[in-house]
Structure 1
Amino acid sequence: MPKPLLQDTALRYFLEVVRSGSATVASERLHVAASAVSRQIAALERTLGTTLFERHPRGMVPTQAGEILAGYAHRAGLEEERALEEIQALQGMRMGLVRIAASEAFANLFLPRLIVAFRQQHEGIVFELDAQPPAVVSAQVREGAVDIGLRFSQAPEADIEVQFSQPAPVLALMRPDHPLAGAAGIGLRAMSEHPLALPGPQTTLRQMIDAACARQQLRLRPALVSNNMSTLHSFAIEGGGLSVSSGVAVRQLRAEGRLAAVPVTDAGLDLRTLEVQTLAGRTLPRAVQAFLEHLKLQLPEVM
Structure 2
Amino acid sequence: MQISMFKYFLAVAETGSIRQASLTLHVSASAISRQIQNLEHSFQTTLFDRCADGMLLTEEGKILALHMQRTMREMELARAKIDDLHGLTAGTVRYATIEGVVRAWLFPAIADFQTLYPLVKFKGFISGAEAVYQALENDQVDFGITMHDDFYPDIGIVEKFSTPFKAAMSHQHPLAQCKTLHLEDLVPYELTMLDSTFHTRRALDLSLSQKGLNVRIGFELNHIELIKVHVLQTGNITILPDYAVSHEKQHNKMAIVDIAEKEIPFATTILCVRRGRILTKAAQEIINKLRLRPITLPL
Same fold at TM > 0.5: yes
**How far has the Cα of 1:167 moved from its partner?**
2.2
State the partner residue of 2:282.
287
Distance verdict in 2 for CA 1:215–1:289, change over 3 Å: same
State the partner residue of 2:132.
137
Matched, 1:270 2:265: yes
Q: Matches of 1:78 and 1:219 in 2, distance apart?
A: 50
Q: Matches of 1:224 and 1:288 in 2, distance apart?
A: 39
**How far has the Cα of 1:210 moved from its partner?**
2.1
Aligned AA for 2:257?
A
State the partner residue of 1:106.
101
Aligned AA for 1:261?
V
1:249 to 226, 231, 244: 244
Q: Matches of 1:302 and 1:29 in 2, distance apart?
A: 48
Matched, 1:121 2:116: yes
**SS of the residue 1:149 aligns to:** strand
Q: Matches of 1:162 and 1:134 in 2, distance apart?
A: 14
Range with bigger deviation, 284-293 or 128-137: 128-137
TM-score where L is the length of structure 2: 0.74
**How far has the Cα of 1:190 moved from its partner?**
2.2
Stretches of structure 2 that go unaligned for 5 or more consecutive residues are: 17-28, 46-55
**How far has the Cα of 1:192 moved from its partner?**
2.1
Matched, 1:81 2:83: no
Asked whether the 8 Å contact 2:242–2:296 carries over to 1, the reply is no
Matched, 1:260 2:259: no
Q: Matches of 1:29 and 1:151 in 2, distance apart?
A: 39
State the partner residue of 1:54.
none
State the partner residue of 1:92.
87
Q: Matches of 1:134 and 1:12 in 2, distance apart?
A: 28
2:179 to 182, 186, 193: 182
Identity of aligned residues (%): 18
Aligned length, in residue pairs: 285
Q: Matches of 2:7 and 2:108 in 1, distance apart?
A: 36
Stretches of structure 1 that go unaligned for 5 or more consecutive residues are: 22-27, 44-58
What is the root-mean-square deviation in Å for CA atoms of aligned residues? 4.2
**SS of the residue 1:144 aligns to:** coil
Q: Matches of 2:228 and 2:139 in 1, distance apart?
A: 33
Q: Matches of 2:79 and 2:279 in 1, distance apart?
A: 12
Distance verdict in 2 for CA 1:61–1:37, change over 3 Å: same
State the partner residue of 2:148.
153
Asked whether the 8 Å contact 2:96–2:141 carries over to 1, the reply is yes
**SS of the residue 2:101 aligns to:** helix
